[in-house]
């Protein structure tokens, strides 16, 4: 099955689950966001709409269990109910923004999720899950800052490198969201996407959706 000469990896009637933080959550309904009870106002909903439009012969059920404010340790606490119990065929994970961001606010150092813990917990979650999946997608965290020497941008890039490492380790499709944003930010200011360098507007979420779909061969 092809669209504009591009293949896609899905089989008919598969389930694609997105899990992550506020960028994934984006106001989705509880307990599980679905097409008819709201996937939220962000990239997950855009992905669902585009998949429905461009591969109508392949029905994909998209689910959203993103939770605002989550770090990888929060994912760990709800992984069974919000991932494993839903038995997805495909899983997409984007986590790490809050793991980094909380290191730059007033949270005590003892409660922060450093890169070593981030990698350890993330790996353990993927190890519990990968064999049950037909496909896995790992999306990097990002920071909408063009100065690559900015302390938070530097740390976010480091967590992105860990995500890429895990993608190789677990045979996952890798989505470099930072690179997708950097391409846009070479031409337009950060303010055109968001006010806080983290939570994007509609065009920002469409950049995420396109990066996800391009990585999967749907464009």
**Per-residue pLDDT of the chain in tens (219 residues, 90 and over written 9):** 333 435 789 999 999 999 999 999 999 999 999 987 699 999 999 999 999 999 988 999 999 999 999 999 999 999 999 999 999 999 999 999 999 999 988 677 778 899 999 999 999 999 999 999 999 999 999 999 999 999 999 999 999 999 999 999 999 999 999 999 999 999 999 999 999 999 999 999 999 999 999 999 986
Q: Where are the domains of the chain?
A: 2-215
User: Can you give the pLDDT at residue 35?
Assistant: 85
Cβ-proximal residues to 66 (8 Å cutoff; 6+ apart), any chain: 18, 19, 20, 21, 22, 23, 24, 25, 26, 28, 33, 40, 44
Catalytic residue chosen out of the listed positions 38, 176, 182, 199? 199
CA dihedral 29, 30, 31, 37 (to 10 degrees): -30
Catalytic residue chosen out of the listed positions 22, 82, 92, 205? 22
CATH number for the domain formed by residue range(s) 2-215: 3.40.50.1110
- What's the pTM value of the predicted model, to 2 decimals? 0.94
Q: Please give the Cα distance from 7 to 3 (Å, whole number).
A: 7
Q: Please give the Cα distance from 47 to 211 (Å, whole number).
A: 10
Catalytic status, residue 157: no
Catalytic status, residue 22: yes
Catalytic status, residue 196: yes
Tokens of 148: 């690559």
Report whether the peptide linkage leading into residue 31 is cis, meaning its omega lies within 30 degrees of zero.
yes
Catalytic residue chosen out of the listed positions 2, 85, 106, 196? 196
């Amino acid at each position: 099955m092809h669209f504009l000469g591009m293949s896609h990896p899905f089989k008919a009637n598969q389930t694609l689950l997105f899990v992550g933080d506020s960028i994934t959550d984006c106001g989705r309904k509880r307990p599980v966001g679905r097409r008819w009870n709201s996937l939220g106002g962000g990239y997950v909903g855009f992905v669902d709409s585009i998949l429905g439009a461009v591969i109508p012969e392949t029905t994909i059920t998209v689910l959203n269990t993103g939770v605002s404010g989550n770090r990888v340790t929060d994912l760990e606490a709800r992984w069974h109910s919000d991932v494993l119990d839903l038995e997805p065929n495909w899983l997409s994970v984007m986590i790490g923004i809050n793991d980094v961001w909380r290191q730059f606010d007033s949270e005590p150092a003892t409660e922060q999720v450093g890169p070593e813990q981030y990698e350890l917990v993330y790996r353990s979650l993927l190890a519990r899950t990968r064999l049950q999946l037909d496909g896995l997608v790992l999306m990097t965290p990002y920071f909408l800052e063009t100065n690559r020497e900015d302390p938070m941008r530097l740390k976010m890039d480091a967590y992105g490198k860990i995500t890429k490492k895990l993608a190789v380790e677990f045979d996952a499709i890798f989505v470099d969201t930072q690179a997708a944003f950097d391409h846009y930010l070479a031409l337009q200011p950060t303010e055109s996407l968001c006010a806080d360098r983290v939570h994007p507007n509609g065009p920002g979420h469409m950049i995420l959706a396109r990066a996800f779909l391009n990585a999967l061969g749907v464009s």
